[in-house]
Structure 1
């Protein structure tokens, strides 16, 4: 919910800041829109703030806008084909000299084009190579993504704004990907996009063991208990569904009744 709040807040701020910059060219209106756009790119892509902050103007201009090749399109679903045309892709330098990708939707592309168009008028140094260069500053100065996210997280009304940081958001997508039970090649693609070694996903961003044991392993044990395991032969844990064989609501009620009995003086105290 906090992430959605932040997304919605940034979308609203982007529209307002874009109109302000169009109507009044100043270093202040430019800075406001640049900071919003920088935060949006980081949060959508779950990218390290420092990597995006240092993205160059040249990288953005070289973004991938090529047509989808027919042979590749055959292996994609209709929705995936639309997504490939909808987004632009930019390669930037990540950790350890590794190239990583950044995705831009059309709205973000339009916003950043406006920022680029207004650089000179808003006093960004002509020699500044950074896409999010600061106006009225040295040619090596750029806005810091983490500062931008911290600012907007505190303004958007989130319950836990301290959790809305690029590092935590990267951990969130890596952890949640395990709920989807991605195939090895899909997990490789996600890890590669995030700039992670696949071992980082598997060793450090696992769901808590307790969650896995309760939600998944319990199904296996219950299927064995009910004698229905044979009909799930050859299926992964995610496809074992035995809800129709178990009345979970009744179990919950029984537990609740037992708790009430323990607390009711008329029933005495168990074990005494």
Structure 2
């Protein structure tokens, strides 16, 4: 007889924590990409979108990372002529497209309207990011061959550890699929609904029931009532009380597991905000935060409040800081780094060593643009560019420099 091995499923709280984290990443990278194109922002947006689609749709890693562009572009709005009004209203927020599942089955992928916009933007900058035109995948990237793509499994592992989940090691592809199937089994669904779920998951109904739905402890404990009756236990009230007590304990345990992270976080940063003078950050404080948040600073990732609370607890130098202020400090450091990459300090480059005009350069400009000086009309940049190309003396000058020199010369003549 084959027994199921002990598999620990992720808690709903951890899944929610990851979802919120991904939504924040998508929003930030999408905004960055709309300001100025950066390959780093483009790749990070694609990674966050890939994992978000996998998390919501509970698709297999291989299926979701190999979504083809042609499949995505065939997305359709879900039919509005739905008898059930509540379902129809909910469906308006999503589009649907089919991808190839296991054994050639067509399985659906649902995408909300905001992520659809983000995916279109991601696709728009594909060529700028150096992705080969022959690469068929939606999440294709530049690489050694034409079929390189982002890896959902590796990215899920990375984001699971960055989001502040209590048990990040449980946030895996198969475990997330099992979690969904097990959660559905607690809803007392009808047979036709179970079949629909199995079809959506992309496997046979029997596989869904036998391998994906994990046994629920609270249901097994309820069986004690029937077992006691079968043994002829007369005191029905006693057995009922025992069962209900066990059930409530089990429910309490499950609830605690799901809400543990949020309760801890609330306890750690629910202190009232003081309206005193802003205290500047000391060298030791900066050093401690930078050391513990090194991974977040390196990857430009936003830390969770619970993570910042853990830094405050670990470092005595931060005893006068709140988790919120630590997060603000980290985000400001990330902002500074982004500005250095995306918008270099132009003033610095302009304050280089000034190169004076040589006699040869001056003579050549006067010769070439004598007519312009006489008519007091500046030449176009195209004319200046041609002059540089045809005269080796001016090779170290730009069209803007020549135009500025002529403009200054005309001003001197006016005086």
Range into which the TM-score falls when normalised by the shorter chain: 0.7 to 0.9
Q: Which residue of 1 aligns with 2:31?
A: 19
Question: If the length of structure 1 is used for normalisation, what is the TM-score?
Answer: 0.76
1:204 equivalent in structure 2:
211
Moved more, 83-92 or 32-41: 83-92
Please give the secondary structure, in 2, of the residue aligned with 1:159.
Answer: coil
Q: 97, 100, 103: which is aligned to 1:90? A: 97
**Is 2:70 the counterpart of 1:63?**
no
Q: Secondary structure at the match of 2:140?
A: coil
Counterpart of 1:145 in structure 2 is 152
Distance 1:140 1:105, change over 3 A: same
Counterpart in 2 of 1:4?
16
- The question of whether the paired residues in 1 share the 8 Å contact of 2:178 and 2:214 is answered with no
Deviations 1:22-49 (A, max 9, x none): 2221321111000000000000001101
1:103 match: secondary structure? strand
Structure 1 residues 84-123: aligned runs within 5 Å: 84-123=91-130
Alignment of 1:140-219 (within 5 A): 140-208=147-215, 210-215=217-222, 218=225
Q: 1:215 offset after TM fit, Å? A: 3.4
Q: Check whether the contact 2:68–2:138 (CA below 8 A) recurs between aligned residues.
A: yes
Q: How does 1:180-259 map to 2 (within 5 A)?
A: 180-208=187-215, 210-215=217-222, 218=225, 248=245
- Say whether residues 1:81 and 2:88 are aligned partners: yes
- Larger-gyration structure (1/2): 2
How far 1:219 moved relative to its partner?
7.7
Q: Which runs of 5+ in 1 are unaligned?
A: 229-241, 253-272
SS, match of residue 177 in structure 1: helix
- TM-score where L is the length of structure 2: 0.51
Match of 2:59 among 47, 68, 71: 47
Tell me, which stretches of 5 or more residues in structure 2 are unaligned?
1-12, 250-415
- Find the aligned partners of 2:245 and 2:173 in 1 and give their Cα distance: 39
The number of residue pairs the alignment matches comes to: 230
How many angstroms does 1:8 deviate by? Answer: 0.6
- Partners of 1:195 and 1:7 in 2: CA distance: 23
Pair 1:134–1:227, CA change in 2 (3 A) = same
Q: 1:68 to 1:100 in 2, by over 3 A?
A: same
The structure-2 alpha-carbon separation of the partners of 1:19 and 1:211, relative to structure 1 and needing over 3 Å to count, comes to: same
CA contact (8 A) 2:80 2:92 kept: yes
Aligned residue for 2:76, secondary structure, equals coil
- Alpha-carbon RMSD across the aligned residues, in angstroms, is 2.7
Cα deviation, 1:204-235, whole Å, max 9, x if unaligned, reads 2344265322136638978x97889xxxxxxx
Q: Give the structure 2 partner of residue 234 of structure 1.
A: none
Give secondary structure in 2 for the equivalent of 1:88: strand
Equivalent residue for 1:28, pick from 13, 34, 40: 40
Runs of 4+ in 1 over 3 A off after TM superposition: 215-222, 224-228, 246-249
2:134 match: secondary structure = coil
